[in-house]
């Protein structure tokens, strides 16, 4: 469908994307592979668009599921961090088409991959997830060591590496727990039988930014690829380590729309469902064709704002499924062809995913990942 027909659109700043990547490449060095994490539609940015834009720089990509892996364009290596189905035909085709690395946490998963690999006629490459304190996916270190031995019974499985994930490296300036996890992972690594040529990885964006000792063989670069620090605490910790303003990450995504109606509202009239907003003076409002079905959070009703002509236009009334209303009384000559910025820059003003998250009591990850994937994403230089 023609992108011009959509009521809102997303622009992707590919220069910012590549700059963010290069910042981490310079910080990490050339010996450690960098795998951008493009799960959840590339954190809402558009998986296909991000993969195409960053492929020349990346060493591979991380996704959550086998289904996501099946949609990765190009031929860069793919690491599946989470789910894959118990469906031999699909897995065999995926092995032949994409050659992904699977993360496993059970013998049953290994057996399923072994059967699919035999059907495909090629070995299945796997990593084992090691539990070090997050208590999400993962095997306890002793269980992971036992799994290494069990895998010898599977002729079509190739063990390629091990991973873990930090529980509390982002939302704190006290990284004692993360360092305890790193110690457990390194101890597990030392306990492995000698002679295996394995890849080890544990670093997310925050770890990659703050702790060189976590870089190991591979970094899983997530939210910071898209221009955001993992948290305010991560930003503060990076400043304490001496990062300068020129090192600032650049948000990649902008979200824009145009008004579909501009109308006058008399003093005393109500705006929107539930009569939650009443005009205390004669007003001019703009009706925007964006709502919570697009991923614009309903909790921004009567509290958020958009940018028009470099000025803030407050949201009036409840955000609807497909529409919202904003106050443009103070903005001269707003027209139907006016570009309205929901996320992004407009002159000296800026709205980020962090701006919206702070108003809705959530995190910027959720704001970005929640944007409707049907909205067109357009790379711009």
Question: Residues with catalytic annotation?
Answer: 39, 273
> Quick one: which H or E segment has residue 4?
none
Task: State the DSSP code for 220.
Answer: E
H helix intervals, the chain: 14-28, 39-43, 47-54, 66-69, 88-98, 107-120, 141-150, 176-191, 205-210, 232-240, 353-360, 364-369
Q: CA of 119: how far to CAs of 71, 75, 107, in Å?
A: 21, 22, 19
| Nearest Cα to Cα of residue 198 among 162, 152, 163 | 162
How far is Cα 203 from Cα 170, in angstroms, rounded to an integer? 11
Kindly report the number of other CB atoms within 10 A of residue 57's CB atom.
Answer: 13
How far is Cα 85 from Cα 45, in angstroms, rounded to an integer? 25
- Can you say how many angstroms the Cα of residue 65 is from the centroid of all Cα atoms in its chain? 14
Determine the angle formed by the axes of helices 14-28 and 47-54, rounding to 10 degrees: 60
Q: CA of 87: how far to CAs of 92, 94, 112, 224, 368, in Å?
A: 9, 11, 8, 34, 31
| Nearest Cα to Cα of residue 342 among 253, 239, 240 | 253
How far is Cα 267 from Cα 279, in angstroms, rounded to an integer? 5
DSSP 130-174: B-SSS-SS-B-HHHHHHHHHHGGG-TTEEEEEEE---SSSSS-S-
How far is Cα 137 from Cα 130, in angstroms, rounded to an integer? 8
């Amino acid at each position: 469908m023609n992108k011009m027909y959509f009521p809102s659109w997303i622009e992707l700043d590919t220069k910012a994307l590549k700059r963010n990547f290069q910042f981490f490449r310079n910080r990490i060095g050339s010996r450690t592979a960098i795998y951008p994490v493009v799960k959840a539609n590339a954190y809402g940015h558009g998986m296909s668009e991000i993969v195409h834009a960053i492929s020349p720089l990346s060493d591979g990509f991380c996704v959550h599921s086998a289904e996501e892996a099946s949609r990765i364009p190009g031929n860069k290596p793919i690491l599946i961090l989470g789910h894959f189905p118990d469906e031999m035909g699909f897995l065999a085709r995926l092995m032949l088409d994409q050659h992904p690395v699977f993360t496993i946490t059970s013998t049953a998963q290994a057996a399923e991959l072994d059967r699919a690999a035999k059907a495909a006629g090629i070995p299945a490459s796997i990593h084992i997830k090691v539990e070090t304190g997050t208590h999400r996916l993962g095997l306890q270190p002793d269980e992971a060591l036992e799994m290494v031995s069990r895998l010898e019974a599977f002729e079509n499985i190739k063990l390629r590496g091990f991973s873990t994930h930090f529980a509390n490296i982002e939302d704190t300036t006290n990284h004692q727990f993360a360092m305890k996890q790193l110690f457990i992972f390194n101890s597990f690594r030392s306990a492995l039988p000698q002679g295996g040529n394995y890849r080890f990885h544990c670093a997310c964006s925050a770890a990659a930014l703050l702790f060189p000792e976590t870089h190991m063989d591979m970094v899983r670069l997530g939210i910071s690829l898209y221009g955001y620090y993992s948290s305010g605490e991560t930003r503060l910790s990076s400043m304490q380590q001496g990062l300068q303003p020129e090192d600032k990450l650049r948000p990649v995504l902008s979200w824009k729309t145009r008004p579909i109606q501009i109308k006058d509202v008399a003093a005393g009239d109500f705006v929107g469902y539930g009569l939650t907003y009443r005009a205390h003076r004669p007003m001019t409002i703009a009706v925007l064709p964006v709502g919570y079905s697009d991923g614009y959070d309903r909790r921004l009703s009567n509290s958020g704002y958009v940018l028009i002509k470099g000025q803030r236009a407050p949201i009036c009334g409840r955000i609807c499924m497909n529409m919202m209303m904003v106050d443009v009384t103070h903005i001269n000559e707003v027209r139907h062809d006016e570009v309205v910025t929901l996320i992004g820059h407009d002159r000296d003003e800026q709205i980020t995913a962090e701006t919206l998250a702070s108003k809705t009591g959530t995190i910027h990850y959720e704001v970005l990942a929640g944007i409707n994937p049907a909205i067109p994403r357009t790379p711009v230089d």
